[in-house]
Amino acid sequence: MSKPLVTILGKTVRRVAKLRGGGSALPGLVVEKIDPDFIKNTLASLPLGVVVISGTNGKTTTTKMVVELLEGQGLKVFTNKTGSNFTRGVAAALLGEVDIKGRLHADVAVLELDEAHAVHFVNKIPPNYSLILNVMRDQLDRFGEIDHTASLLRKIACATTSKVVLNREDARIANISKSLDDKKVNFFGLDEGLLQTFPSDDDLHNNNLKSHNSIKADVVLSKFAGESATFTIGNESITTNLKLTGIYNVFNAAAALTLVRAMIGDIMDQKKLIKSLASVTPAFGRGEKLTLNGQPLELVLVKNPSGFRLGLKSFNPSKYATMIAINDNYADGRDMSWLWDVDFASLKKTGVADISGVRAYDMALRLQYDEISIKRVEPNLKKSLNDFIKNNSGKPKRIYCTYTAMLAIRRNLNKVTQVEVIE
């Protein structure tokens, strides 16, 4: 079947899916069935090729940062902005951008990919650049033990043709460099004084904080306080304000800076780079700020102990009404035992107003063990959200939620306030 015909069919399915309120990845799934090489052939002509961003935590916001930093350098960037990070999600995103003949008018593709699906992707389409963020005990029912997940990320790095950016402070990620040519690798890292704030998975479980400062990093997060962050870039110290919320996003900014520097090289305009970084806002659901009845409402995605821990540390619960929504659908991971590795002590003074989602009672039991007061437990997300809004009018609100719970909450909030539509 010709590419224009495949494109027309795909765009038709996409339009019908939107009208029916269907999932964003469905058109991509259809196109993959009728033309398995659709993605490969569409991306083949891009001047700067393909960038793959993967890892356990922070993929979506880091991808958004990289896209906006590259656009600030004057490049036209294609990306899978929905955060649907399987190959069918990439195909669906392409259908929204290509012309009727299936041509993509862009300089580079920056793709967020799930660890396992990224391996399938790079086997067919070797990326020119890759960024490997971290590896955590996340969704073990899908990927197996943490060393297996690290092996998947190593395969992505080894398939990369130009530059690989690695996290110096995550031993499993840093060790990937041993499989690569030294000239192919750039690192991002932390000042030693910040290691306790951003523990690796082993640090989190063993309290074995150690630096890998013997490895030279291209960009180092030196310090941060409030909305200000200082990065050591090469031999220069640069301080900037950030609109990003969540301390985890500040470290991800160092990763994004390192990748863009590796891609652009000597022609990069560093002043524009920092200006672009200062204007980046969180990706949807990742510290996203909405306004409801004149009060802020924040959505914080949580999916593993480290992410939940850093989320709780990032946001002061004082004066906020808190809701937690936990699902165990495939995209969330079925195994919710990780909730027992999260310290919820910061919520002790304020308590939690509402708990919802498929695993609401599991979450409630976990909080009871930390002696956190709970006002309501309601598994039905729509009802729980309505109660949360109704019973906390006039108060700022914050919702910690797993991925599918976040999508459902955003859909319901879209009926009562302005929510950015992600296509």
Question: Would the pLDDT of 423 be above 90?
Answer: no
122-132 pLDDT per residue, tens: 999 999 999 99
Q: What is the mean pLDDT of residues 340-363?
A: 96
How far is 231 from 240, CA to CA, in rounded Å?
Answer: 8
348 contact partners, CB below 8 Å, separation of at least 6: 370, 371, 372
270-316 pLDDT per residue, tens: 999 999 999 998 887 788 889 999 999 999 999 888 889 989 988 99
**DSSP line for 226-256:** TTEEEEEETTEEEEEE----SHHHHHHHHHH
Higher pLDDT, 74 or 115: 74
Among residues 40, 65, 55, the alpha carbon closest in space to that of 122 is found at 40
232-276 pLDDT per residue, tens: 998 899 999 999 888 888 999 999 999 999 999 889 999 999 999
167-186 pLDDT per residue, tens: 999 999 999 999 999 999 99
**What integer pLDDT is reported at residue 234 of this predicted model?**
87
5 pLDDT band, cuts 50/70/90, is: confident
Beta bridge partners of 232: 220, 237
- List the alpha helices (DSSP H) in 325-416: 360-369, 381-391, 403-413
If one counts every other C-beta atom within 10 angstroms of the C-beta of residue 410, the result is 19
Between helices 146-159 and 115-124, what is the axis angle to 10°? 30
Question: Would the pLDDT of 422 be above 70?
Answer: no
372-401 pLDDT per residue, tens: 999 999 999 999 999 999 999 999 999 999
| pTM given for the model | 0.85
How far is 228 from 269, CA to CA, in rounded Å?
Answer: 21
- 3-state SS assignment for residue 132: strand
If one counts every other C-beta atom within 10 angstroms of the C-beta of residue 101, the result is 10
Sign of the torsion formed by the C-alpha atoms of 54, 276, 397 and 80: negative
**What integer pLDDT is reported at residue 210 of this predicted model?**
55
Sign of the torsion formed by the C-alpha atoms of 8, 10, 12 and 18: negative
Q: What is the mean pLDDT of residues 220-226?
A: 93
Query: Phi and psi at residue 50, in whole multiples of 5°?
Result: -125, 140
**What integer pLDDT is reported at residue 420 of this predicted model?**
80
How far is 186 from 27, CA to CA, in rounded Å?
Answer: 36
Question: Would the pLDDT of 82 be above 70?
Answer: no
In which region does residue 293 sit, left (phi positive, over 0), alpha (psi from -120 to 50) or beta (all else)? Answer: left
407 pLDDT band, cuts 50/70/90, is: very high
Beta bridge partners of 288: 299
183-194 pLDDT per residue, tens: 999 999 999 999
